[in-house]
């Protein structure tokens, strides 16, 4: 497989996963908004900070109000991480992969890219419309993933698809955890109270982990939440699960050859196994996630240079 084709499959997967993840945390934040009457800035600023987009956001809007933030995250084509932008890029990339993708996958990608209408920031719809739209995005992502798993050959292309999906999911899960812990609590006095419990519950909901969490632990506890989101080896949106799955994808791509991305993923997985949730809380979750983000960015670059860059890749 050409490196260019592998790179396109990788980023097609990441864009679809990114759109779905954005829908998830938009939905969770809207539910949270219905539970609490929080000042607009405290409620909506974290959604911009998740992708470190505040400077770009401020160039378009005068304040992080509900309508402005939802417009930026869902409808604004100039926002690189908006659902609309991600789905548009996904459709453009898919059009170059007609020989790789099945007709059913291409059709579903085309369909989902048309779900987001043109909306101005003065006409952002009410919560119930946002909930319906987010649900459609999430179901479309699951449908595309299901079709891929059912009818795509388990070869190099399939493993690049899963590799992009797992790394994007690990990235967004870590960002959600970081922002929830660092920004969302309205006041220090709320730490350890029912207010914090609702915040953690909203975070779990945003990654579809709430029901699984309650089956295991019954009550909200910050250390247990962090344990599940970072270290869990069975839950498919946990960071460790995603990174260890990405490592297996890389090995499937290279066969018996141990590549630089594999070594970096293996090292990061080993570090996650060694560190305890209590130690992360004690030393600082924000600092831990920052370091994790730097390492995942390095892995993403390593994947490109090892497999996709014609100047450095031996991959054909």
**pTM for the model:** 0.90
In the predicted model, what is the mean pLDDT of residues 251-270?
94
Domain count, the chain: 2
Domain limit, last residue, from 152, 178, 206: 152
Q: Residue 243 is part of which domain span?
A: 153-316
Q: Residues 290, 189: one domain?
A: yes
Q: Residues 139, 91: one domain?
A: yes
Position 85 scores a pLDDT of 96
Pick the more confident residue, 2 or 80: 80
In the predicted model, what is the mean pLDDT of residues 213-222?
88
- Tell me the pLDDT tens digit for each residue of 176-190: 887 766 554 545 445
Q: Residues 214, 277: one domain?
A: yes
Q: Residues 269, 293: one domain?
A: yes
Domain limit, last residue, from 132, 152, 172: 152
- Tell me the pLDDT tens digit for each residue of 133-145: 999 999 999 999 9
Q: Residues 185, 124: one domain?
A: no
Q: Residues 133, 4: one domain?
A: yes
In the predicted model, what is the mean pLDDT of residues 264-292?
91
Position 220 scores a pLDDT of 86
Q: Is residue 313 over pLDDT 80?
A: no
Position 205 scores a pLDDT of 82
In the predicted model, what is the mean pLDDT of residues 243-250?
97
Pick the more confident residue, 222 or 181: 222
Q: Residues 10, 55: one domain?
A: yes
Pick the more confident residue, 167 or 120: 167
Domain limit, last residue, from 123, 152, 181: 152
Q: Residues 2, 137: one domain?
A: yes
Q: Residues 20, 96: one domain?
A: yes
Task: Give the closest residue to 26 by CA, choosing from 123, 133, 143.
Answer: 133
**280: pLDDT confidence band, cut at 50, 70 and 90?**
confident
Q: Residues 141, 160: one domain?
A: no
What value does the mean pLDDT of the chain take? 88
Task: Give the closest residue to 131 by CA, choosing from 34, 18, 30, 19.
Answer: 30
In the predicted model, what is the mean pLDDT of residues 92-114?
94
Pick the more confident residue, 56 or 202: 56
- Tell me the pLDDT tens digit for each residue of 6-43: 999 999 999 999 999 999 888 887 877 776 655 566 67
Q: Residues 181, 272: one domain?
A: yes
Q: Residues 128, 189: one domain?
A: no
Cβ-contact 15, 89 below 8 angstroms: yes
Concatenated DSSP letters for the chain? --HHHHHHHHHHHHHHHHHHHHHHHHHHHHHHHHH----HHHHHHHHHHTTT-HHHHHTT-SS--HHHHHIIIII-TTSTTSHHHHHHHHHHHHTT-TTTS-HHHHHHHHHHTTSS----TT-PPPHHHHHHHHHHHHHHHHHHHHHHHHHS-SSHHHHHHHHHHHHHHHHHHHHHHHHIIIII-S-GGGTTSHHHHHHHHHHHHHTT-HHHHHHHHSS--HHHHHIIIII-SSSTTSHHHHHHHHHHHHHHHHTT---HHHHHHHHHHHHHHHS-HHHHHHH-HHHHHHHHHHHHHHHHHHHIIIII-TTT----
Q: Is residue 277 over pLDDT 80?
A: yes
Q: Is residue 113 over pLDDT 50?
A: yes
End-to-end CA distance of the chain: 5
């Amino acid at each position: 497989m050409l490196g260019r084709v592998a790179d396109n499959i990788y980023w097609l997967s990441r864009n679809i996963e990114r759109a779905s993840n954005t829908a998830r945390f938009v939905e969770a934040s809207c539910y949270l908004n219905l539970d609490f009457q929080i000042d607009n800035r405290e409620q909506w600023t974290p959604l911009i900070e998740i992708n470190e987009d505040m400077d770009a956001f401020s160039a378009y809007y005068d304040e992080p109000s509900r309508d402005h933030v939802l417009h930026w995250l869902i409808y604004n084509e100039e926002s690189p991480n908006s659902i609309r932008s991600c789905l548009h890029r996904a459709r453009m990339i898919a059009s170059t992969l007609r020989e790789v993708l099945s007709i059913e996958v291409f059709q579903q990608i085309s369909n989902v890219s048309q779900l987001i209408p043109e909306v101005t920031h003065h006409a952002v719809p009410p919560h119930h419309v946002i909930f319906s739209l987010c649900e459609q995005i999430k179901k479309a992502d699951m449908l595309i993933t299901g079709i891929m798993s059912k009818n795509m050959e388990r070869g190099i292309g399939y493993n690049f698809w899963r590799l992009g999906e797992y790394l994007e999911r690990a990235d967004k899960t870590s960002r959600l955890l970081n922002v929830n812990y660092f920004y969302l609590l309205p006041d220090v006095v709320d730490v350890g109270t029912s207010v914090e419990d609702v915040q953690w519950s909203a975070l779990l909901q945003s990654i579809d982990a709430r029901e699984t969490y309650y089956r295991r632990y019954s009550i909200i506890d910050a250390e247990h939440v962090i344990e599940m989101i970072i270290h869990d080896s069975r839950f498919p949106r946990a960071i460790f699960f995603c990174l260890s799955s990405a490592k297996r994808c890389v090995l499937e791509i290279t066969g018996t050859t141990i590549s630089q991305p594999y070594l970096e993923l293996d090292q990061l997985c080993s570090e996650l196994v060694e560190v305890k949730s209590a130690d992360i809380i004690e030393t600082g979750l924000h600092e831990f996630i920052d370091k994790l983000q730097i390492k995942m960015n390095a892995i993403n670059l390593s994947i490109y240079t090892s497999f996709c860059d014609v100047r450095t890749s031996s991959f054909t």
